[in-house]
Amino acid sequence: MKQVPHEIHLCEDCAQQYLNQDEPSPASEPEEGMMVKLQLDAGDKELAELDKNVCPNCGISFREFRSQGRFGCPHDYVVFGDELEALLENIHDERQHCGKVPKRAPSDSQRQYQLIKLRSELRKAVAEESYEEAARLRDEIQAMETALSQGTGDAD
Amino acid sequence: MELDDLTHTSGEWLRGTGPEADIVISSRIRLARNLAQFPFLSRSDEATRAEIEGLLHQHVSDLRLPQPLTYLDVQKMEELDRRFLVERQLISRELCESSGARGVGISSGENVSLMVNEEDHLRIQVLRSGLALEDCWEEIDRIDDSLEDKVTYAFSEQLGYLTACPTNVGTGIRVSVMLHLPALVMTKEIQKVYQALQKIHLAVRGLYGEGSQAMGDFYQISNQVTLGKSELEIIGEVKDVIPQIIGYERKYREALVKEKRRDLHDQVSRAYGILRTAQTISSEETMHLLSSVRMGINLGLIDDLEIPTVNELFIHTQPAHLQKLRNSALESGERNVARACYLRERLASSNDVP
């Protein structure tokens, strides 16, 4: 629906106030935790089920997580794994980390992430019909897979 | 360094230098990290909180940074001092308002702050003046690496760094650039910027982050997605839109100067005049007028005032800063008088041409 423009006459101060209130206010955005809450609305029947799903580590139920928008411990990500997938995809559009990896994590895992990235680049190259690039990526992936399966991954 | 030493100084990130510093106030990156062997804070009792705080306090204090670091026990701090640190952008409102064992490590130049027991066990923040996201990343990555040598972070191969809130999981990174956009606000073009950024999943927030108002025409642009992209990709996405926004702001400033030079000059001069002569003035009016004056300096309409002075006044005229400067608790009405007085002093001395 098209809005009809209307004219108003204001002094400088009132104009300023008018502009400020009319401006999209970042303050009216729901807080991060609230967003999680809203995205997780479900029926009463499901709630009883969600109450049963409890982390053995910290004791938080999925329902409690839902109402607070905060986890109780890192293990919750494993315990609530299935329920979380849709939520994470909703927030981030992705379900696989591909950034920094702590040095203490196994060195192989870094290569796993590289493989994930290379495979998605390969899909993209094929879709864009960049066949030279696709062939190069396929070779790189194969080389890396061979190295991983032979356990010659990292000397350190 | 004592907390009170900060009262009369200002952080390096306010010095008004760095690329595009007429529009870009500062660049900031923060990382959210948690220790693998403890529950998150919502499920930590007092003893656990204290244990986490003790451990991280030690490791934060042991960090070797280019500038010396001071660790402050936020739990033992007066409310005024906590608010002072919030105004200073060194701690979050959450760390200020929560309870229990918590603290913050601050570098002497105020570029680095490490918050312990905020929403996550550890929040590392690096700030720079102007548009300098790569510098922020280099430094924060190094700090993160040296902590990683000492502690085991909660991390999963699939989901990356595990955080108390699922909106931070993965990289745990928040990349923000603070912009001063008076011309876009004046012409109402800011709405278009706001909508365009939302479409590409970037958030627009006010001066003090989540849920705060866009005071003094300051806007913070930051990423929302933290999972499925590398840190450098996320930094790149924020960085890529900044030149466009700067371009818009410059375009509308030029148009204002060209088409309404006299009106603009009048508005800027009046703003300057009020700030130099008012006897009582609210925080909101101060922010609004300082914003005009700041743009006036950048457009060459005011030539006897420096940008770093204005940047500093934005911070020093806020409630907790004023009370620290006056060394006494002040009611809102008293603050308005103290604020006007402080502004008159500062703006008079800056005009003392030798």
CA-CA-CA-CA torsion for B156, B160, B162, B166, nearest 10 degrees?
-120
Measured between beta carbons, the chain A residues lying within 8 angstroms of B152 are: 102, 104
Mutation choice for B interface testing from A14, A57, A100, A109 by most B CBs within 10 A: A100
Q: What is the predicted pLDDT for the residue at A20?
A: 57
Strand partners, B105: B71, B114
Q: Which band of pLDDT confidence, cut at 50, 70 and 90, is reported for residue B36?
A: confident
Mutation choice for A interface testing from B29, B140, B157 by most A CBs within 10 A: B157
Taking CA–CA distances from A59, the nearest residue in chain B reads B43
Radius of gyration for the alpha carbons in chain B, expressed in angstroms and rounded: 21
pLDDT at B236 exceeding the cut of 90? yes
- Of residues B350 and A58, the one with the higher pLDDT is A58
Range from A147-151, B57-61, B324-328 carrying the lowest mean pLDDT: A147-151
Concatenated DSSP letters of B154-199: -EETTTEE--SSGGGTBT-EEEEEEEE-HHHHHTTTHHHHHHHHHH
Range from A28-42, B20-34, B250-264, B269-283 carrying the lowest mean pLDDT: A28-42
For tokens 């912009």, the residue is B179
| Percent of chain B's residues with pLDDT above 90 | 79
Q: Which band of pLDDT confidence, cut at 50, 70 and 90, is reported for residue B3?
A: confident
Range from A39-43, B35-39, B166-170, B187-191 carrying the lowest mean pLDDT: A39-43
- Of residues B337 and A20, the one with the higher pLDDT is B337
Q: What is the predicted pLDDT for the residue at A38?
A: 47
Contact status of B170 with chain A (Cβ, < 8 Å)? yes
CA atoms of B354 and B324, how far apart (whole Å): 30
Q: What is the predicted pLDDT for the residue at B337?
A: 96
Beta-carbon separation of A95 and B204 below 8 A: no
Strand partners, B170: B160, B161
Q: What is the predicted pLDDT for the residue at A119?
A: 76
Shortest distance between the Cα of A35 and any Cα of chain B, in A, equals 9
Q: What is the predicted pLDDT for the residue at B5?
A: 78
Q: Which band of pLDDT confidence, cut at 50, 70 and 90, is reported for residue A14?
A: low
For tokens 């570029």, the residue is B111
Helix, strand, coil % in chain A, rounded to nearest 5: 60, 0, 40
Beta-carbon separation of A84 and B231 below 8 A: no
Distances (CA, A) of A66 to A85, A92, A96, B94: 14, 18, 22, 20
pLDDT at B87 exceeding the cut of 70? yes
Q: Which among B84, B137, B144 has a CA at the least distance from the CA of B114?
A: B144
Q: Between helices B231-277 and B133-148, what is the axis angle to 10°?
A: 120
pLDDT at A154 exceeding the cut of 50? no
CA atoms of A91 and A94, how far apart (whole Å): 8
Tell me the one-letter amino acid at B26. S
Contact status of A143 with chain B (Cβ, < 8 Å)? no
Tell me the one-letter amino acid at B161. Y
CB pairs under 8 A between A and B: 163
Nearest by CB to B204, which of A26, A31, A102?
A26
pLDDT at A39 exceeding the cut of 80? no
Q: Which residues contact B81 (CB under 8 A, 6 or more apart)?
A: B3, B320, B324
CB contact at 8 A, A50 and A66: yes
Tell me the one-letter amino acid at A12. E
Q: What is the predicted pLDDT for the residue at B20?
A: 87
Q: What is the predicted pLDDT for the residue at B350?
A: 56
Q: What is the predicted pLDDT for the residue at B7?
A: 76
Mean pLDDT of B292-297: 96
Residues 59-118 of B with CB under 8 A from A: none
| Percent of chain A's residues with pLDDT above 90 | 18
Q: Which band of pLDDT confidence, cut at 50, 70 and 90, is reported for residue B141?
A: very high
Q: What is the predicted pLDDT for the residue at B213?
A: 54
pLDDT at A30 exceeding the cut of 90? no
Mean pLDDT of B253-257: 94
CB contact at 8 A, B93 and B189: no
Mean pLDDT of A6-35: 54
CB count, 10 Å around CB of A102? Answer: 21
CA atoms of B291 and B180, how far apart (whole Å): 8
- Interface predicted TM-score of the whole assembly (ipTM), two decimals: 0.86
- Of residues A46 and B195, the one with the higher pLDDT is B195
Give B97-116 pLDDT, tens digit per residue. 999 999 999 999 999 999 99
CA atoms of A43 and A51, how far apart (whole Å): 13
Q: What is the predicted pLDDT for the residue at A25?
A: 40
Give B316-349 pLDDT, tens digit per residue. 999 999 999 888 899 999 999 999 999 999 998 6
Q: What's CA B68's distance to the chain center, in Å?
A: 20
Give A59-105 pLDDT, tens digit per residue. 899 989 989 999 999 889 988 988 898 899 989 988 899 899 987 66
CA atoms of B29 and B225, how far apart (whole Å): 14
Beta-carbon separation of A92 and B185 below 8 A: no
